[in-house]
Structure 1
Amino acid sequence: MPFEKITESPSHYHDLEKMSIHDLLVSMNREDQGVPLAVERAIPQIERLVEAVSDRMLAGGRLFYIGAGTSGRLGVVDASECPPTFGVPYGLVTGIIAGGSKAITTAVEFAEDSAAQGWKDLQAEGVSASDSVIGIAASGTTPYVIGALDACRKAGILTGCITNNPGAPVTEVADFPIEVPVGPEFVTGSTRLKSGTAAKLVLNMISTSVMIRLGRVKDNRMVDMKLSNDKLVDRGTKMVMEQVPGLTYEQARDLLLRYGSVRKAVEKH
């Protein structure tokens, strides 16, 4: 079966500029409703990748996301949220985007077209055979991502990918490919829409599941979260009170601030 780039297929909707605001919103929402179902069908693939990545990280490895444009930004966002949410060191999960940090807020022209630069960017982060690298590419044809994963496989590094086109070239260089076909975009080819939403959902599932397997969640609580603002201190205080009955709010807060995390406050008490 020849490779078909579904992400470039024509939208099911026409004359968008003639639609009312209400019809635009209703139509986009209707399209979005199919995204979770597409992700659900990919759960067996996601499960295999999470298991492999978790095993590597339990053995001391790190996790890298690599992508371009929207895909790269989504990886950077997911990676940047792991330290404050789960209390892991910065660098344990790293997002790399074609064009560097500037590309997070500003499009860097042709950055995704270099098949060699992705591997160079990974090497600059000290990637090694103990690590895992997940390429994110809605189209599945991004040279920056494909070249990086190909080099990783040759170096014995575990590879995975997230794409919205089944059978895309990126799947051929991924040990654990995840394919989430969400169909044509509302605006033809605008993969920041359904494809981006699907990638965000899958990244949520990967990082959260991995962190739970690493022991960074107790029951359903973020017991290692960083206390970086008053809201989180308040949340942490109440968590300590739940786990240590009899403490007043002030006592629980003092314990939390003294030891720096819910986990340590409860253990030390």
Structure 2
Amino acid sequence: MTETLPRVWLITGASSGFGFAMTKYALSKGDIAVATLRKPEVLDDLKAQYPAEQLLVVKLDVTKPEEVANAFTKTKEVFGRLDIVFNNAAFFVVGEVESTPEDVARSLFETNFWGASYVTREAIGFFRDVNKPGVGGRLLQISSQGGFFSFPGVAYYGATKYALEGLSQGLAGELDPEWNIKITIVEPGEFDTKVFTSNLVQPPIHPAYATKPHLPSNLFRQQYIAAPSKRQDPNKAVIKLYELASLENPPLRLPIGKDAIGFVKDQLEQVARDRESFAHWSDDLE
């Protein structure tokens, strides 16, 4: 019998939420984790539980390309291979388009899109050029239901995830099948993570919206930010994402969570209705 090697994961945003849950679960399954985060000391307790040959903690701010490259270099130096990249680091801004200062919006893009794109480029290069030919790898892009159905009150956040999804879908089409690199865009619904608490940024509400509690963006604040009892368990979700990383033919997109399934369905139906209603506008345009 041949012994199956433990898989090597590189996980960004490992300090909390999906990143922390995925790190813990991969380790519990006997896999190897390269856990990256801006403050490595956050994982001191976890680090004390596992030997250095199973858990490598690396300081990483994904907005700094040199730190992203360093994380992959350390992975190569210590383990010599990499099987799965869990591209998760992100933060959340709640605010209408008019309420969100430009510097906050740009910072959101720097982390959620550009940071994720730096990780993406390094992952693809590693899977193709460092792993043995044909071994490839799995890239799990942690997007959001907001990357498929943009909600009022978080439009800039949705825009970062739409951008990540566009990048990921286009990239998936560029890859040579011989490289055996598989990409899945994961679209979680509302889960109980720090994205709604300590990782949440809320600029002051624009005066034009502040006096109108019935507006959709204000209803979003009430329903999603102040309703923790409704949130799903990320520890249960990562069990499915772990399974996803083993599929021979994974989907390009994976909505996860009943709310995400519902919003994706609604969006697809709306697009289909609009297409059918106005398809004739494209007749005789040649």
TM-score interval, normalised by the smaller of the two chains: 0.3 to 0.5
Provide the TM-score with structure 1 as the length reference: 0.40
- Considering Cα pairs closer than 8 Å and 6+ residues apart, tell me whether 1 or 2 has the greater RCO: 1
Provide the TM-score with structure 2 as the length reference: 0.38
